[in-house]
Amino acid sequence: MGFDRRRFLAGAGGLAGLAVLAQSTPGVAATPPLPGHPFTLGIASGEPEPGGVVLWTRLAPDPLAEDGLGGMPDVRYPVRWEVSENDSMTRIVRRGTVWALPELAHSVHVEVRGLRPGRDYWYRFAVRGELSEVGHTRTAAARHESTPFTLAFASCQAWDAGFFTAYRHLAEQDLDVVVHLGDWIYENQLGATGGVRGVPLTWPQRLEPMSLDQYRIRHALVATDPDLRAARRVLPFVATVDDHEVKNNWSAETEPTAPTPENFLRRKAWGLRAFYEHMPLRAAALPRGTDNRLYRRLRFGRHGMLHLLDERQYRDAQDIAARQDPSRTMLGAEQEEWLLDGLGRSHATWNVIGNQVLMAQLDRLTDPGLQQLNPDTWDGYAASRDRLLTGIVDRRVRNPIVITGDAHVNCAAELKADFSRPDSPTVAPEFLGTSITSGGNGTDLGSGGREWLAANPHLKFVNSQRGYVRCRADADEWRADYLVLDKVTEPGGVMSTRTSFVVESGRPDLQEA
């Protein structure tokens, strides 16, 4: 059910009927005029299921306004939405109206139901005579469908570190879903001209976010990027948080530099709230204070089940000396039980675990002892990792695949039942994807990467360029392509396939394609 993505991205999506849509929105007369075009942050879809998707936009005529409200009046606005079976929007199958509330920064999250599985759909919004672009999305295949499952995954997009060229390339791919594994924004203070972006920023736009309005500004800054907007407009996204959506290396109710627990909890609540306001998430993901359920499961036909984790809100605080303590947890007891039970019950060909931080053990030859281990990854929670991998083996989980972000490098690893023995059975492969921009241009294989490969025989590939990972799965094989850019610190980077790996169904060991 593919379509001409290049033509659609070039703006050929039909405009027939848009004026009618804009003029038919109920409640318009009761709201004040908008101060400008409201769809500056684009439109998006996400959370695909066989019968529906979530549609998102946020009204923001002045997206970087210093109060974080996007230049909107402090009143609610009715927003009209439509879903069509064609890009000319002449075969409307679902439509409705949703209120954009000032309490949620005038963001809207439309949970569209009653669609057909495995189908392409087009959508748009209108409010107060203003029209959005036409977007494209796709529902998940029905449980019994055996069509190939396609996805890409990405993470770590520091706005000031580079240009989002990878998203321009990603927007041209024919995929069922894009999985973002965290660090959608970064909380660092920005320079006066936005790093390599060369864009003058006001002081409120540069500040390290601490309050809700400041987090909203940072999200809006990221969302205005044209390449990110293009990808979100034409591909359904599924996202979770890592640390930089709130504060580097935070854990549950603490972070290393918080002056008081109360101050951090307040900051965490604001960071998670702003994340919700800028993502195509269901209402169930709306934070209640600091409580925000983000781990979830999505099924894609016969071949794909995505188990998306949250490795921040329930983990114990970092303590590398206690890494073998079985009482310590990365996931929390409830999420760990949910994951293992779901993996054990799944009949999908491939069980994909969306994982934020490196799961494989990582030794460094030049730094012996505990100091060599990163307390923020699964190495800092070794007993919890052992429990997870043992649980996968005991439940005979069918074809587990781990996809990972955070580390700003590409890696392919085999997760061993016992990392101290290289000949130990492989429990699952782990595909670690590099950053979109974080870390700058990077290199193919530096001295650090060579050290990793020498000290860790379960690592099969290391690369430090920027990009994303594209995957395709069918009844027999999982394939992962590592796509990298030659540069991100200036526009115009060239994308290429650095390497590819395949995993045969029933054989978890990695094979070069």
Same domain, 99 and 206: no
> How many C-beta atoms lie closer than 10 Å to residue 409's C-beta?
22
Helices marked H in 346-488 — which ranges? 382-394, 447-455
What percent of the chain lies above the pLDDT cut of 90? 88
**Least confident segment among 74-83, 211-220, 257-266:** 257-266
Same domain, 165 and 18: no
Distances in Å between the Cα of 442 and the Cα atoms of 162, 363, 409 are: 11, 21, 9
* Residue span of the structural domain in which 134 resides: 1-139
Same domain, 223 and 284: yes
**Which CATH number do you get for residue 16?**
2.60.40.380
What pLDDT is stored for residue 4 in this prediction?
A: 65
Same domain, 64 and 200: no
The end-to-end CA distance of the chain, in Å, is 27
For 3-22, what is the mean pLDDT? 48
What pLDDT is stored for residue 20 in this prediction?
A: 38
Torsion, Cα 203 206 209 214, to 10 degrees, reads: 60
Which pair of structure tokens corresponds to residue 312? 């921040």
Of 88, 119, 139, the domain-final residue: 139
**Which CATH number do you get for residue 389?**
3.60.21.70
Same domain, 269 and 211: yes
Give yes or no for a contact between 432 and 412, defined as CB atoms under 8 angstroms apart: yes
Same domain, 196 and 296: yes
For residues 473 and 36, give the distance between their C-alpha atoms in angstroms, rounded to a whole number.
Answer: 45
Answer whether residue 1 shows pLDDT above 50. no
For 412-424, what is the mean pLDDT? 96
Same domain, 467 and 331: yes
Answer whether residue 356 shows pLDDT above 50. yes
Same domain, 277 and 398: yes
Same domain, 119 and 29: yes
Same domain, 133 and 167: no
Same domain, 486 and 369: yes
* DSSP assignments along 214-233, one per residue: HHHHHHHHHHT-HHHHHHHH
What pLDDT is stored for residue 260 in this prediction?
A: 77
What pLDDT is stored for residue 163 in this prediction?
A: 98
**Total number of domains constituting the chain:** 2
Same domain, 179 and 126: no
- pLDDT band per the 50, 70, 90 thresholds, residue 158: very high
For 168-188, what is the mean pLDDT? 98
Residue 364 CB partners (closer than 8 Å, separation 6+): 372, 451, 452, 455
For residues 185 and 158, give the distance between their C-alpha atoms in angstroms, rounded to a whole number.
Answer: 6
Of 120, 139, 158, the domain-final residue: 139
Of 139, 172, 205, the domain-final residue: 139
Could you tell me the pTM of the whole model?
0.95
